[in-house]
Amino acid sequence: MGVSQNQATMEGWLYTIRSNRIGLQFSRKRYFILRNNVLKSYKEIPNYEKQESVRSAVINSSIRVTDNGRASINRKVCFVFTLYSTSDDKDQLKASATSSEEAARWIHCLKDAALTDSPCRSKNVSPSPKIWSSLRSVNPKNTINKVSVHWPFHSSVNADSMTSDVVAPSPWKIFGCQNGLRLFKEAKDVSSRGRRLDDIPAIMAVGVVDGTSEAIFRVIMSLGPSRSEWDFCLYYGSVVEHLDGHTDIIHKKLHSDWLPWGMKRRDLLLQRYWRREDDGTYVILYHSASHKKRPPKNGYVRAHLKSGGYVISPVNNGKQSLVKHMLAIDWKFWKIYLRTPTTRSWTIRMLERVAALRELFKAKQGNYFPECLSMEWTSDKHLAQTKKEDVKIEDDALTDDKAEKTTPGHVSLLGLNEEADEFFDVPEADEFTDYDRLDSEWSPGPSSPSKSLPKLTSASHLVRKLQNFANQKKGYTEYQEVARDDGRVFSYGTSLQKDPTCTLPCSWSAGDPSSFLIRGKTYLQDNRKIKANGTLMQMVGADWLISDKREDDLGNRVGGIVQKYAERGGPEFFFIINMQIPGSPTYTLALYYMIKTPIEDHPLLCKFVNGDDVYRNTRFKLIPYISKGSWIVKQSVGKKACLLGQALDTRYFRGKNYLEAEIDIGSSTVARGVANLVLGYLNNLVVEMAFIIQGNTQEELPESLLGTCRLNHLDLSKAHVALP
């Protein structure tokens, strides 16, 4: 594996994954080289620079890289990512690496290459007329789950100005130190009516472990026998259902030895979500869920984990890691144990696993290898494979040589795929590092067959049927179930009420610009960011909608505020940000911003409005912030700016007096996981956002906020049914 100083140049071994004619997936080991925006594949490491490649493709601005998370190939765990073209959904290349760090390096380099102009675009590289079979999943209905590069939100616990683009106090206060761990408690959020939003105490333990963040991540994710070396709480663990490469449902039975005498054993049924951030930090989040395959059992009391997880950040040049472990758990004690000190003491006892983890890595120092400690961290039966789908490694020695012969310099990503010889799918013995073996305790959780959505006639039946369909399809339910009212008449841009006092639930108001940090005049020299002091556009409306399909081009809807201003013929111009969370049902959050002066008076805004989608996607930036809410949601969302067009599929609609950005949250498994988590806690959250056109040159600095918003305790049941 090699990475040059130019972050868009890289080389190393990867495995290409695709399906053959009879529906079986297979993988081929290839040596890839990314240089000068051209990705080439070889059967072996090339001996000289001009050696002819087996396949090649140009990485240009229309290419997106997606992080599929973990998958099982030949009974081994690997980390999969997908390259696809925004101009052709069928033009895809799926590849895998043997470690998350290696996959992350490839994703980072490919993203950098896509952001630069290709020197080969107009030379001797031209699209091939041949149609190659797609690398999509066998089930074509899964194309909505085309996963994205990453949801570039970052850790927010005790974040400082260097890692956060939001000015906000830390919610954590230290209250003690025990067994070498610092202990923190979270300040309580208080609603506008003066009541506490959460009575379950949230406690965090922080310690330094002598190990890489990836090694610690593997150990924590393991539920097999190796976990007994450090986790004194866990008696038995299993994966109930694998939802995608970043999310699964797990069941944990706890030992009773460390609980008070006479108490029944506790168990937990959790939804687990993980991601890796750009700086090598791993985030693992948990919260309680229910599942039809794991109802409560006699002899066990099911505890409720409101939020919890780990944040594993590399320090000391990656040789050590700062581990933060947080829990907010209701132990379901009998009345005699209801006192807060008792609840806190047993939560702290569970948090002391960080100290055990620290001692484990200290004992292994010197001859420690991550693969030796993580042999049971996942089950390949639960990983991202289509139902009844086998995955094999194809032996190059048995491959038809005719399938290898193709003209080098192929622009299409499909050109990097190779013809499948469906009669010779023979697994190799040592394709992947043998650190991920089958955990015999786990049982497969087959996905429910997909069903067609029934035609709905009324608002009340729409939501009820869609909600039932969603629960049947995913097999599990969140603790927050939604009961909806019937639809109400509204005009687009007014369905969500405005409340400048920020006291009414399910309302919006403009956020405080000074809470957000933007690039200052000298940013290119010193990377210094400054507080924003205003916005270019004024927020004038918002929609909170529910539907059974995507709701595109809201600015063109008759009777909406955009069309009303268009009829007047004034100079007002609108920018609509349409965030869509696909599923059953689909939720749409639309924010309407207006500027009264001609956009030509603002050069960067004018360039953004009149530019092409490639330019817009490299400039349109979001800063998210959960000002009130649970730790797990704050941690998942973060407070770091991200380029939306590079992280998520974003389309634009240009009208006479408006530009609308359609942001597909479902284009990323990571983003979709965060969105589903946020939806579960939505009515207890205050969400703030700021939107920016990123300034990349001295003339474009300092930046200015396009607009801000503050969403106060949105309610799923109060979303309006979208009008035709």
Best-predicted range by mean pLDDT among 138-147, 335-344, 655-664?
655-664
Pairwise pLDDT comparison (663 vs 78), residue with the higher score: 663
Q: Picking from 44-48, 259-263, 369-373, 550-554, which range would have the lowest pLDDT averaged per residue?
A: 369-373
- Average the pLDDT over 411-419 and give the result: 61
**pLDDT at position 665:** 92
Residue 303 tokens read as 């505890």
In the chain, % of residues over pLDDT 90:
41
Confidence (pLDDT) at 302: 93
* Pairwise CA distance, residues 456 & 526, whole Å: 57
Question: Residue 496: which of 463, 457, 539, 537 has the closest Cα?
Answer: 539
DSSP for 649-681, written as a single string: EEEEEE-SSEEEEEEEGGG-HHHHHHHHHHHHH
H or E segment and range at residue 358: helix 353-363
At 271 the pLDDT is 93
Q: What tokens does 387 get?
A: 């139902």
Over residues 79-107, mean pLDDT: 85
pLDDT in tens, 167-212: 888 889 999 999 999 999 987 765 544 445 456 778 999 999 999 9
Percent of the chain, pLDDT > 70? 72
CA distance 236 to 387: 26
Task: Estimate to the nearest angstrom the gap between the alpha carbon of 607 and the chain centroid.
Answer: 30
Q: Is the pLDDT of residue 75 over 90?
A: no
| pLDDT at residue 682 tops 70 | yes
CB-hemisphere CA count at 13 Å for 450? 11
DSSP 370-414: HHHH-TTS--GGGSS--TT--EEEPPGGGS-GGGG---S---SGG
pLDDT at 95 over 60: yes
C-alpha span between 557 and 491 (Å, rounded): 9
Give me the pLDDT at residue 142, please.
36
Dump pLDDT digits (tens) for 572-591: 999 999 999 888 889 999 99
Place of tokens 């909406």: 560
Rounded mean pLDDT, 276-297: 91
- Rounded Cα distance between 678 and 629, Å, is 10
Among the listed ranges 29-33, 78-82, 449-453, 604-608, which one has the minimum average pLDDT value?
A: 449-453
pLDDT for position 190: 57
Confirm if 201 and 175 have CB atoms less than 8 A apart.
no
Say whether pLDDT at 159 is over 70: no
Mean pLDDT over 56-77 rounds to 81
d(CA 48, CA 592): 56
Which is higher by pLDDT, 429 or 218? Answer: 218
Tokens representing residue 691 in the block: 């939107």
Question: Is the confidence at residue 288, as pLDDT, over 50?
Answer: yes
pLDDT at 120: 41
Contact 311, 283 (CB under 8 A): yes
What pLDDT is recorded for position 393? 38
In 3D space, the residue among 35, 130, 132, 55 whose CA is nearest the CA of residue 408 turns out to be 55
Which residue type occupies 622? L
The kind and range of the H/E element at 604 are helix 603-610
Look at 220 and 9; give whichever has higher pLDDT. 220
Q: What is the pLDDT of residue 509?
A: 95
Alpha-carbon distance of 164 to 181, in angstroms, equals 25
pLDDT in tens, 475-489: 444 434 444 444 456
- Per-residue pLDDT band at 339 (split at 50, 70, 90): low
Residue 82 has pLDDT above 50, yes or no: yes
> Is the backbone peptide bond immediately before 585 cis, with ω within 30 degrees of 0?
yes
| pLDDT at position 198 | 54
Name the more confident of 135 and 568. 568
pLDDT of residue 454: 38
- Average pLDDT on 351-372 reads 77
Least confident of 26-35, 86-95, 491-500: 86-95
Specify the residue for token string 């919890």.
308
Render the burial of 104-131: b for 16+ CB within 10 Å, e for the rest. bbbbbbbbbbbbeebebeeeebeebeee
- Residues 314 and 480: their CA atoms lie apart, in Å, by 35
Over the stretch 537-568, which tens digit does the pLDDT of each residue have? Answer: 999 999 999 998 889 999 999 989 999 999 99
- CA 430 remoteness from chain centre: 31
Q: Greater confidence, 101 or 414? A: 101
Task: Yes or no: say if 592 and 542 are a contact pair by the CB < 8 Å rule.
Answer: yes
Residue 223 φ then ψ, to 5°: -120, 10
Per-residue pLDDT band at 570 (split at 50, 70, 90): confident
| pLDDT value for 563 | 94
- pLDDT-derived band at 226 (thresholds 50, 70, 90) equals confident
Measure the CA–CA gap between 417 and 254, rounded to whole angstroms: 47
When pLDDT is cut at 50, 70 and 90, the band that residue 431 belongs to is: very low
Element (H, E) at 498: strand 497-498
Question: What's the CA gap between 369 and 279, in Å, rounded?
Answer: 22
Sorting pLDDT into bands at 50, 70 and 90, what band is 667? confident
Name the pLDDT band for 501 (thresholds 50, 70, 90): confident
pLDDT at residue 462, rounded to an integer: 45
- Whether pLDDT at 418 is above 50: yes
Q: What pLDDT was estimated at residue 561?
A: 94
CA distances from 210 to 83, 180, 276, 478 (A): 35, 14, 19, 36
Give the pLDDT confidence score for residue 714 in this predicted structure: 94
pLDDT of residue 428: 41
Q: Please give the backbone phi and psi of residue 372, each rounded to the nearest 5 degrees, phi first.
A: -75, -20
Q: For 275-283, what is the mean pLDDT? A: 88
More confident residue, 88 or 639: 639
Confidence of residue 13 (pLDDT cuts 50, 70, 90): very high
Q: What is the mean pLDDT of residues 46-52?
A: 77
Question: Per mean pLDDT, which range of 77-81, 205-209, 517-521, 716-720 is the poorest?
Answer: 77-81
Q: What is the pLDDT of residue 412?
A: 64
pLDDT, tens digit, for every residue of 433-458? 333 333 333 333 333 333 333 333 34
Domains assigned to the chain: 2-139+386-416 (2.30.29.30), 179-380 (3.30.530.20), 459-721 (no CATH)
Residue 614 has pLDDT above 60, yes or no: yes
**The token pair that represents 447 in the structure block:** 């996905």
Q: Mean pLDDT across the stretch 255-282?
A: 86
Can you list the positions of beta strands (E) in 181-289? 181-186, 203-209, 234-244, 247-254, 265-276, 282-288
| pLDDT over 90 at 699, yes or no | yes
Q: Is the pLDDT of residue 7 over 50?
A: no
Q: Per-residue pLDDT averaged across 75-94, rounded?
A: 82
**CA–CA separation, 104 vs 503, rounded Å?**
42
Q: Is the peptide bond before 702 cis (omega within 30 degrees of 0)?
A: yes
Average per-residue pLDDT for the chain: 76
Higher pLDDT, 321 or 339: 321
Cα-trace Rg, the chain: 26
Average pLDDT over residues 377-388: 38
Band the pLDDT of 352: cuts 50, 70, 90: very high
Measured CA angle at 171 (ends 166, 174), to 5 deg: 135
